[in-house]
Amino acid sequence: MPRTLPAAADPLRPAVPDRPDKDPFDIDLVFRLLREATAGLPKAAMFELRDRGHGTPFEQLVAALISARTRDETTTPVCLRLFARARTPEAMAAVPEPELVELLAGATFPEPKARDILALSRRIAEAGAVPDTMEGLQALRGVGPKIAALTLGVGFGRPAISVDIHVHRIVNRWGYVATTTPERTMQALAALLPQRYWIEINERLVPFGKAICTGMRPRCGTCLLLRQCRQVGVTRPG
């Protein structure tokens, strides 16, 4: 009888049969290998901004909103330019909308993002603090689950799982979850992933997914995680 990975508490994730050429899946080992694999790679934008001194909940909220459908290589310089102009809700709310649109040049959808940033800045300035719950953050204009989770995780340092296309693709490729959308992946990971990795999973898998575990032709031949990964759906490894 074939061995299986440990059963998940979440019914979205069925047990995945082991393979004779693979080691038993060990999430602690996976994260140790991920840290080694991504040590020399460019950081995900939110973590790069945090490490440059822009780690407040408000800055992380604004940066996460800007990052939506925008590459990290663009998000970081746009945010640095914006934060040189305004770093608090009060200062941001005072920026004229046309100027804010100009500051967001390069990011996708600068006009609607400028309106969203102004609206949430005014609301936060009136309230006196950035909401510190998923529900409170998602009540702000333009804020969805991914933006809220990044704000909680990176800005507040509270356990929260942010799932983008890289996280979704890779954990399904590992065979760690079996889901069809990032939203369902977030639900499955919340039931399965040890909480100590909730923030770090996005920090590691974004650069890992860009450079190694890519969407097309993942570099399996040189990947440190090869014996842990079940390579689900991989037909043309590099």
Q: What mean pLDDT, rounded, does the chain reach?
A: 93
- State the pLDDT at residue 15: 45
pLDDT value at residue 210: 97
User: Per-residue pLDDT for 20 more than 90?
Assistant: no
Per-residue model confidence (pLDDT) at position 238: 82
Query: CA distances (Å), 197 to each of 46, 84, 139, in order?
Result: 16, 32, 26
pTM across the whole model:
0.89
- pLDDT average, residue stretch 158-176: 97
The neighbour count for residue 144, using CB atoms within 10 Å, is 13
CB 152 within 8 A of CB 61: no
Average pLDDT over residues 40-49: 97
Q: Nearest 5°: CA angle at 161, between 209 and 216?
A: 20
* pLDDT the model gives residue 16: 59
Average pLDDT over residues 191-199: 97
